[in-house]
Amino acid sequence: MLRRKFSEILLLISLVLALTAFGFAAAAVSKSGQNVTIQSSTLHGDVRAADGLTMTVHHNYENTLYWDTTLSCFDPSHVTSSCRYVPNGISHFGPAQPPLSLVFGEYPLNLLPDGLQAAADAQAEALAKSAGQSSCVYTKLHSHEAYYTPLVRLSHPDCLFSAERADSPDSSTLLDTDFTDYFKIPTLPDEQVELRFSVLDGKPTLTSVQTSSNCDHYAPHTFSAAASDAIYFCIGSRSQQGQLLNFDQLPEGYGIFSVPLVPSETEGQKRLASEQLDMIYGLNPQITILDLQLTPDQSQLLLLTEESDACYLTVLDLPTGAPVQRTALNPADAVYLWPGTDYLVLRFQSPDRLAVYSKAADGSYSMDFICDIPDDALPLYANGTATAYDGHRLAIGWSGFWYQSLSMEQLAEWYVAVYTADGESYWGGYDSSFAQECIPMSYYQIELSLN
């Protein structure tokens, strides 16, 4: 009897000890994962130039674990970090994609325009009669389609298409008839389409349709910016070989377009109200669009264009699209811009330079300073770059995501540079404790603030 009691007590003691130790162990493991540590290296200049500069970076692992880490760029040992668990969270990898793109020259097989479908059917029939093998047939797009049929591709976390829609080949792409009807752009006479057939079950079957890259074709870049209630966008006006497209049949001509985002039937999601597609600011198709950005407070749209005589910065008031400022830039070789809360940064090339413009009370911008980027600096990219400006110092932060060709010793997770009117004062590389892990974390955003 005593031995049985002893067994009972032994089990209960073991259980209490094991569960207590289990609790402590789980807490210790959990705590170890919360704290992100940062290592920095000064690549150029004096780190004291980064005094007061704070960087916030976000990591995620498998769209499940999300870390927010804030550090002082001057003294990276001052780090605060927190970790959140979000099952099936939002996917982020690399710098953000444009919120909306019009895709020309891609033809999902289930959404082929009627003319191309008829051409493909006729070709399949001809191949069947000749008992042909797998083949690739080129045909002039203009012979079958008078106008382009652009697909709408969205990269907006709150706006997904239903994968069940017949007109949506995936959750981010849509063949929207409102867009197709609005963007009536005549096809280029020489553009060719490649129809690929494979023999399946003894019958020639269409396997892919796409624009041939061997001839001149229209595949413009879309510049887009998403506000909370609308997406603003414009598209390039020239073909790959510089031929000007005809935009006369667009309802209001060529320019900057807006499409409202309205609440969707799915809670927390928004719908692209393509039936309210509109043009907010007209442009001459002869110009070249370099960049289109929205200010952080979403009150202005900033347009950078290259025209016959110079580069122009155009500031538009939102949501009206009324022009606030249109100014020719000097120097005239701007390539892109980064808007801030009350400033904007312009990047010039040949030679590489950065200019900071301060915003006046009337919403217009005037240049504070322009400085050279050192020749040995890593190239800056438009996408995924963060800026901060305190009236004297301009801080720029960007990800090492772009520099996959660099060796591991040279590659940092992020870089931060500080510029003044005298040029570059500091350039440093920063690595988080995640960078030492063999499977790198997904990075998706950097924020900077200067105090």
Q: Count the neighbouring beta carbons within 10 Å of the beta carbon of residue 264.
A: 16
Write the DSSP symbol of residue 275: G
Question: Does residue 19 interact with other proteins by CB under 8 A?
Answer: yes
Contact between 166 and other proteins by CB under 8 A: the answer reads no
Compute φ and ψ for 14, nearest 5 degrees. Answer: -60, -45
Give the nearest distance from C-beta 41 to other proteins in angstroms.
17
Q: Is 134 helix (H, G, I), strand (E, B) or coil?
A: coil
Residue 268 touches other proteins, criterion: CB under 8 A: no
How far apart, in whole angstroms, are the C-alpha atoms of residue 428 and residue 375? 16
Give the Cα separation of 214 and 233 in Å (integer).
Answer: 28
Q: Toward other proteins, which CB reaches closer, 34 or 241?
A: 34
User: Among 131, 166, 361, 438, which residue interacts with other proteins (rule: CB under 8 A)?
Assistant: 438
Which one, of 419, 318, 313, 304, lies nearest residue 373 by Cα?
A: 419
Piece of 59-67, 290-298, 317-325, 346-354 that binds other proteins (CB under 8 A): 59-67
Q: Which is nearer to other proteins, 19 or 122 (CB)?
A: 19
Q: Rule CB under 8 A: choose which of 15, 109, 118, 322 binds other proteins.
A: 15
Query: Exactly one of 43, 65, 79, 146 binds other proteins (CB under 8 A); which one?
Result: 65
Closer residue to other proteins, CB minimum distance, 82 or 133: 82
CB proximity list for 121: less than 8 A, separation 6 or greater: none
Residues 84-113 that bind other proteins (CB under 8 A): 85, 87-88
**SS3 annotation, 330-380:** CCCCEEEEEECCCEEEEEECCCCEEEEEEECCCCCEEEEEEEECCCCCCCC
8 is an interface residue for other proteins by CB under 8 A: yes
Q: Does 37 bind other proteins (CB under 8 A)?
A: yes
Binding flag, residue 437, other proteins (CB under 8 A): yes
Q: Is 39 in the site for other proteins (CB under 8 A)?
A: no
Query: Interacting stretch for other proteins, rule CB under 8 A, among 14-22, 48-56, 261-269, 332-340?
Result: 14-22
Judged by CB under 8 A, the residue of 389, 434, 443, 444 near other proteins is 434
Residue 400 per-residue DSSP state: G
Is residue 369 within the footprint of other proteins (CB under 8 A)?
no
Position 410 contacts other proteins (CB under 8 A): no
Query: Contacts by 15-20 with C-beta closer than 8 Å and gap 24+?
Result: none
Which of 376, 359, 375, 379 has its CA nearest to residue 367? 359
Rule CB under 8 A: say whether 80 interacts with other proteins.
Answer: no
Quote the CA–CA distance of 2 and 8 in Å, as a whole number.
Answer: 10
Please report whether residue 361 would count as binding other proteins according to CB under 8 A: no
Q: How far apart are CA 341 and CA 332, in angstroms?
A: 24
Give, as one character, the DSSP assignment of residue 119.
H
Note the residues at the interface with other proteins (CB under 8 A): 3-5, 7-8, 10-12, 14-15, 18-19, 21-22, 25-26, 28-30, 32-37, 61-62, 64-65, 85, 87-88, 433-434, 436-439
